[in-house]
A = this chain, B = another copy of it.
Amino acid sequence: MKIAVLGTGMVGAAIGTALVQAGHEVAMGSRTADNESGTQWANSLGEAARCVTFANAAAFGEIIFDCTNGANSLTALHSAGAGNLRGKILVHVANPLDFSNGMPPSLSICNTDSLGEQVQRAFPETRVVKALNTMNCDVMVDPSRVSGDHNLFLCGNDAATKAEVADHLCAWFGWKPGNVIDLGDITAARGMEMFLPLWLRLWASLGSPHFNIQIARKNPQ
């Protein structure tokens, strides 16, 4: 499959690499096609990987992963172009982290809106599914790094699209279908993004970003 990964940071590189390893052709999108991180990433992976502009990546991809810095997501997606995103699945991984007041970051948007909703509103003809944003990128693409039946959350406005994304994430990254939890429509992106402050505190307390949350359910006894 031809897949676009927008963003050349750690998250984009982890997802892009995992997709190449799963047999896909990946175009990493950046503001400029000669982005240094993106070019290095592409060169390390051979012909299945390339670094191009946001617009060329979005035109190339049959499905698009938004792994941009949350502060720049909407700008990047507008550069990608509504026409190139139309009708396609956009897996929205970005979080609206705001580092302008130091560490730990706060959120630039939360509570009564979310970045996921802003993206869906800005690109109404794109099938946005928020997913993967509640964990470290190493865990996103290799859930076996964490023990147990930990969970992958997703939300979006179209049930069939969410089912397709869930199938892809299970097939490509190794998520177990029973560990995927559909949280409902795109407004659930509020809760998924607002989990980040707790995630950041857990990272500090546990001393490693390689953890995830698992839903413990009612005891049958």
Residues of A in contact, count (CB < 8 Å): 47
Bound Cα distance A55, B67 (Å) = 52
Kindly list chain B residues whose C-beta atoms are within 8 Å of the C-beta of A195: 194-195, 198
Which residues of A from 102 to 135 have beta carbons under 8 Å from B? 106-107, 110-112
Q: Are A214 and B211 in contact (CB under 8 A)?
A: no
Closest chain B residue to A111, Cβ basis: B106
Contacting B at CB under 8 A, from A85-101, are: 101
Most B-side CB within 10 Å, residue of A150, A194, A205: A194
Write the nearest CB–CB distance from A70 to chain B, whole angstroms: 14
Are B205 and A183 closer than 8 Å at their CB atoms? yes
Interface class of chain A by DSSP: mixed
The segment from A17-25, A46-54, A140-148, A164-172 that touches chain B is A140-148
Contacts A106-B112, A191-B197, A194-B110 known; A202 to B217 CB distance under 8 Å? no
A216 within 8 A of B: yes
Cα A155 to Cα B202 with chains together (Å): 11
- Do A182 and B205 touch across chains, with their CB atoms under 8 A apart? yes
Q: Do A219 and B145 touch (CB < 8 A)?
A: yes
* Residues of the B chain whose Cβ atoms lie less than 8 Å from the Cβ of A110: 110-111, 194
A192 with B198, Cβ < 8 A, contacts A111-B110, A210-B217, A216-B150 known: yes
Docked-complex contact B213 and A148, CB < 8 angstroms: no
Does A190 sit at the interface, judged by CB under 8 A? yes
* Chain B, Cβ-Cβ closest to A138: B218
Nearest 9 pairs of A and B residues by beta carbon: A191-B198, A191-B197, A150-B216, A148-B216, A210-B218, A194-B194, A147-B219, A183-B201, A214-B216
